[in-house]
């Protein structure tokens, strides 16, 4: 019954989700410390979660707090040095995606991680832990579709949130749709195909909200990857799903296909009314992936307890980032673009 003591860094929206999961939904975890440069976030940790070890400085937390591990949910630019500091302090590390914001930093972080071979660094690609995705992976491993050779991935954020995203000034800071959104679909592709990408071509357009184009991004992006083993990947990412939050993935193999979530139904209820037969859909990623956020941390905690390696590594973070940057370059330059390794 020994529980893993955790310090969390960052208590914004996603940070709070992780913090609540650690505090209340994962029996073997104990959330004992929190770190944030924002006072309100520390107040939240104290008042809502009852945490008493509070820090403004990440390095101080990892060095002083009575913790076994850290969960990093800070801005992406902070990830590399915080990973390093935590490893140096002997802590196990769970870090939200992305690993870093440039490929150089990803590579540098890989090197650092390699210096601590006995410590865990797990990256938060939560979709892999969604029960439907995990089930698909199991079925594929069991041979249900033969050899997978094509992944078709769709990821569309809800139109309901789009205008406020634009108004918040998010677009120019986002890195663009291929970095910000497609990276999840890209990770799934690599995971299902068990192969790395060779080249990519990409397109984009902005028919509903011209602000995306104005800011050098696109509202909807399409990309097509060729993998080193000859497999292929098609991506469609967007910002304007009218029906909710639409994440759909199909893995095509020599003996069959598995398609995940063509109808992103809110639940099992179906309405028959004057519109016809209607399924209401999930609104956003917290609704769609709430369970995944718990399950990925369960894996992390299990790895810590049983001293095993997590299924998502820093290399996955680097590879997905490389593919996303290549897609972005392909979109910007209108040319088939090699994926760096």
Q: Which residues inside 214-233 make contact with a copy of itself, applying CB under 8 A?
A: 220, 222, 224, 226, 230-232
Q: Is the CB of 56 or the CB of 214 nearer to a copy of itself?
A: 214
CA dist., res. 35 & res. 53, Å (int): 9
* Shortest Å distance, C-beta 267 to a copy of itself: 4
Asked if residues 200 and 323 have their Cβ atoms less than 8 Å apart, the reply is yes
88 near a copy of itself (CB under 8 A): no
- Contacting a copy of itself within 124-143 (CB under 8 A): 131-133, 135-136, 139
Asked if residues 302 and 166 have their Cβ atoms less than 8 Å apart, the reply is no
Q: How far is CA 273 from the centre of its chain?
A: 37
- Coil, helix or strand for 101? coil
Q: Is the CB of 74 or the CB of 240 nearer to a copy of itself?
A: 240
54 near a copy of itself (CB under 8 A): no
* Shortest Å distance, C-beta 146 to a copy of itself: 7
263 near a copy of itself (CB under 8 A): yes
- Contacting a copy of itself within 144-183 (CB under 8 A): 144-147, 149-150, 152
- Contacting a copy of itself within 281-310 (CB under 8 A): 281
* Shortest Å distance, C-beta 45 to a copy of itself: 12
Phi, psi (rounded to 5 degrees) for 200: -150, 150
257 near a copy of itself (CB under 8 A): yes
35 near a copy of itself (CB under 8 A): no
Residue corresponding to tokens 């439907």: 132
CA dist., res. 297 & res. 32, Å (int): 15
CA dist., res. 83 & res. 103, Å (int): 16
Among 14, 25, 88, 119, binds a copy of itself (CB under 8 A): 25
* Shortest Å distance, C-beta 200 to a copy of itself: 10
278 near a copy of itself (CB under 8 A): yes
Using DSSP bridges, classify how beta strands 257-260 and 337-338 pair: parallel, antiparallel or unpaired. unpaired
* β-pair partners for 332: none
Residue corresponding to tokens 């094509």: 150
Q: What is residue 281's DSSP assignment?
A: B
CA dist., res. 120 & res. 274, Å (int): 55
CA dist., res. 221 & res. 267, Å (int): 28
26 is written with which tokens?
């994962």
* β-pair partners for 95: 72, 123
Q: Is the CB of 120 or the CB of 294 nearer to a copy of itself?
A: 294
275 near a copy of itself (CB under 8 A): yes
Interface stretch with a copy of itself, choices 107-115, 117-125, 264-272, 305-313 (CB under 8 A): 264-272
Interface stretch with a copy of itself, choices 21-29, 54-62, 164-172, 308-316 (CB under 8 A): 21-29
249 is written with which tokens?
């993935």
- Contacting a copy of itself within 197-216 (CB under 8 A): 199, 201, 203, 205, 207-208
Alpha helices in 70-215 (DSSP H): 79-88, 103-114, 131-141, 162-167, 170-173, 177-180, 182-193, 211-214
Size of the site for a copy of itself (CB under 8 A): 75
Instruction: Say what angle helices 314-333 and 182-193 make with each other, to 10 degrees.
Output: 120
* Shortest Å distance, C-beta 209 to a copy of itself: 9
* Shortest Å distance, C-beta 310 to a copy of itself: 22
The interface mask with a copy of itself, positions 236-255, x = CB under 8 A, is x-x-xxxxx-x-----x-xx
Q: Is the CB of 105 or the CB of 219 nearer to a copy of itself?
A: 219
Q: Is the CB of 22 or the CB of 62 nearer to a copy of itself?
A: 22
């Amino acid at each position: 019954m020994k529980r893993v003591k955790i310090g969390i860094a960052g208590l914004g929206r996603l940070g709070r989700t992780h913090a609540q999961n650690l505090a209340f939904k994962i029996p073997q975890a104990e959330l004992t410390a929190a770190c944030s440069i924002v006072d309100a976030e520390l107040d939240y940790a104290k008042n809502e979660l009852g945490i008493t070890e509070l820090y403004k400085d990440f390095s101080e937390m990892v060095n002083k707090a009575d913790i076994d591990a850290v969960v990093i949910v800070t801005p992406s630019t902070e990830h590399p040095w915080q990973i390093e500091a935590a490893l140096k302090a002997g802590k196990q590390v769970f870090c939200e995606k992305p690993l870093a914001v440039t490929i150089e930093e990803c590579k540098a972080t890989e090197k650092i991680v390699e210096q601590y071979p006995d410590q865990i660094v797990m990256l938060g690609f939560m979709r892999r832990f969604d029960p439907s995705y995990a089930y698909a992976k199991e079925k594929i491993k069991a041979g249900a579709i033969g050899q997978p050779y094509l992944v078709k991935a769709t990821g569309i954020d809800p139109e309901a949130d789009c205008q406020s995203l634009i108004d918040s000034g998010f677009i120019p800071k986002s890195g663009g749709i291929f970095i910000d959104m497609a990276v999840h679909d890209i990770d799934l592709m690599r995971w299902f195909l068990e192969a790395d990408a060779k080249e990519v071509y990409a397109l984009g357009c902005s028919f509903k909200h011209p602000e995306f184009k104005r800011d050098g991004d696109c509202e909807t992006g399409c990309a097509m990857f060729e993998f080193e083993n000859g497999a292929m990947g098609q991506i469609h990412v967007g910002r304007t799903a009218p029906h909710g939050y639409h994440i759909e993935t199909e893995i095509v193999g020599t003996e069959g296909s598995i398609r995940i979530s063509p109808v992103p139904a809110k639940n099992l209820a179906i309405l028959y009314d004057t519109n016809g037969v209607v399924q209401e859909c999930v609104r956003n990623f917290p609704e769609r992936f709430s369970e995944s956020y718990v399950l990925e941390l369960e894996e992390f905690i299990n790895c810590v307890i049983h001293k095993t390696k997590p299924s998502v590594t820093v290399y996955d973070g680097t590879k997905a980032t490389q593919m996303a940057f290549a897609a972005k370059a392909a979109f910007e330059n209108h040319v088939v673009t090699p994926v760096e390794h």
